[in-house]
Chain A
Amino acid sequence: MNNLALNNFIRFFGLILLQVFVLNQVNLFGFVNPMVYILWVVLYPIKKEQGTFLLLSFLLGIFIDIFMNSGGINAAATLFIAFIRMPILKMILGKSDFDFVSFNLRAIAFNKAFFYISFLTFLHHFIIFGLEYFSFSEFTSIISKTLLTSIFTILISIIGILLFSKKK
């Protein structure tokens, strides 16, 4: 249990640093910066108690916001996917009550895990760009930025999970 908490702690700050110093400097095609830091939300162990998880997700977003000078955009989006994560997982796995402690992303089928990551990523990116532009007239920009950035975020996330997690 202690090990798990330490892992989480390292992942939290590791992902912030990775996001700020590597991924925010990518600027692929001039504007695509994959936001892989949400991997922390995706990988957080599932517990009945959700208060700390929501609070930490909010903090993660705020830290990114402070570095990026973006107000509270990242905090709002990260908190939202943290809240919506449980219902999504239940929907995808089709079980009302699954084994909380032994949940492992590598243990479930690849297409289900892929859908889980993609859905959260799209949602998160859509909120980010929606709040950033905040106008209906720029809907095409919001959608195109969401889609393009999501593709790269999902790609890097999956590679990261395959490289850094143990298969069970």
Chain B
Amino acid sequence: MQQLFYLLKKFKYLLLFIFLEIIALIFTFQYHNYHQSKFINSANFITGGIYKKANTVSEYFFLKTENHRLAEENIKLKNLLNIKGIDYSNPTYIYKDSVEYFQQYEYSIAKVINNNYSSKNNYLTIDKGALHGISEDLGVINSSGVVGVINKVSKNYATIFSILNSGSKMNVRLKKNDHFGTMVWDGKNPNITQIVDLPRQALLKVGDTIITGGKSAIFPEGINIGIIEEIELKNNYYSKINVKLFNDMTSLGHVQIIKNFRKEERQLLELSVNNE
């Protein structure tokens, strides 16, 4: 017994080291599991608060790009109004809502206070949380494209699982026809993502537009993602399809969060089908 104590005393630092190292590795591998990590994330009030403070300074440097982005989006929306024949110049114009109208998506705004794109698994932090109606698994976009999906939520902050993450899988499709694929990221270039399992029958050209597929309940169909930049064919299947994102993930200001009101209904239905 005494020898055991002697040994424990002799190797106490080694034991402490091994103990702490195991904890660190548990945290590491837990984080790879979506939504598993309990407290090692930047959505808590301390890191979120610090990031927000720092962001109030740094956002001034990006006002120009942010303004430009807003102006572009305004033009796009005005053109859309014109196509629909709505006269936006008349301030008293009232759009008559039909009784059957049922809103499916609600958009809300948030600001990115911490952006990452240099590592293999990137997460972002935004300044809105559970108090502002944010919950897990909501889609996040900005005016030019998709950003990611809400990962963890605290009272005032939330983290986003970026599309620039090795675990990211997104349902996408070609704009010109209805072929679906999955978008992933290989961890190399923050402007380029990859599409896998697109069937061979899908005819592709460099320059084709990729949009969200709408197969998942997170994103509505038809949000712009990017254009095909490089196609590689091997043994009659697509071995590599690179997509250049419309969105500049290295410079994100305000983002929009999409809430799908019919998500639960849809998931319940799909679940009941699977159980049969």
- Chain A residues within CB distance 8 Å of chain B: 20-21, 24, 27, 30-33, 50-51, 54-55, 58, 61-62, 65-73, 75-76, 79-80, 83, 131-133, 138, 141
Contact = CB atoms under 8 A, between A and B. Distances in A.
A72 B26 CA distance: 7
10 contacts: A30-B117, A51-B13, A68-B42, A69-B31, A69-B116, A69-B123, A70-B121, A71-B27, A75-B23, A132-B119
Interface stretch (B14-22, B90-98, B225-233, B258-266): B14-22
A68 B24 contact: no
Interface in B26-52: 26-32, 37, 39-42, 44, 47, 50-51
B117 to A, nearest CB: 7
B16 A51 contact: yes
B17 A83 contact: yes
A71 B50 CA distance: 19
Given A65-B40, A69-B42, A30 B118 contact: yes
A102 to B, nearest CB: 22
A54 B159 contact: no
Nearest to B159: A69
A71 B40 contact: yes
Interface of B: 12-13, 16-17, 20-21, 23-32, 37, 39-42, 44, 47, 50-51, 54, 114, 116-121, 123, 125, 159, 187-190, 250
Contacts of B47: 66-67
A54 B21 CA distance: 10
Nearest to A53: B13
A54 B118 contact: no
B189 A66 contact: no
B17 A54 contact: yes
Give 9 closest A-B pairs by Cβ, nearest first: A72-B27, A71-B31, A69-B123, A76-B24, A72-B24, A75-B24, A72-B28, A71-B28, A31-B118
Contact of A79 (B21, B42, B114, B250): B21
Given A24-B116, A54-B13, A62-B40, 6 more contacts: A50-B13, A69-B40, A70-B121, A72-B23, A80-B21, A138-B187
Contacts of B188: 141
A58 B24 contact: yes
B20 A66 contact: no
A73 B121 CA distance: 12
